Amino acid sequence: MSRIGKQPIDIPTGVTITVGDKEITVAGPKGSLIVPVQDNTKTEVKDNQIIVTRKNDEPKSRAWHGLQRALLNNAVIGVTKGFEKKLEINGVGFRLSGGGQQIEMALGFSHPVKYTAPQGVELKTDKMTITVSGIDKQQVGQVAAEIRSLKKPEPYKGKGIKYADEVILRKAGKAGTK
């Protein structure tokens, strides 16, 4: 039995779960998400809990069991609390402006870089920090990765865009000659 898949998911107050044949709809105070149903799993709502079981013991069913439970858990957390990732910009002359759906950054290129977030993701700026927030964990992570890829941190001075909790391993510069 999957260690993750066998754990029940508690349904907080204000969250409604609708189980269909092909998709499960999770609706809460922040919005609603649709989770696709895997063929080899069965999802039931009992006593304010979501229970995910697998139909058989084939390797593919065992693999999908934990994934289905994790996707449902992320959807429940997303519609109640939401997800956020923080990015930091480091570098001389780097600037950040905007917010909401679009930000504009000066990252040392000959032109300003504009980034527009997809629907359902909000961008907040504060000095040299970008906060990416939304209800879909995958979408928030994807947007944060796309913003980071605009100017990845370099190992010599640490200039670029990095996650707030990321540690950049620094390299030594030139040793110099005599």
87-119 tens-digit pLDDT: 999 989 899 998 888 999 999 899 999 999 999
Instruction: With CA atoms as reference, report the closest residue to 72 among 95, 38, 31.
Output: 38
Spans of all domains in the chain = 9-80, 83-163
Instruction: Choose which CATH entry (3.90.930.12, 1.10.1520.10, 3.40.50.980, 3.40.50.300) describes domain 83-163.
Output: 3.90.930.12
User: What number does CATH give the domain 9-80?
Assistant: 3.90.930.12
115-153 tens-digit pLDDT: 999 999 999 999 899 999 999 999 999 999 999 999 999
Question: Which amino acid is located at 97 in the chain?
Answer: S
C-alpha to C-alpha distances, 120 to 74, 101, 104, nearest whole angstrom: 15, 9, 19
The number of CA neighbours under 13 Å toward the Cβ of 107 is: 20
9-80 and 83-163 agree in CATH topology: yes
C-alpha to C-alpha distances, 33 to 24, 37, 66, 120, 134, nearest whole angstrom: 8, 13, 19, 11, 11
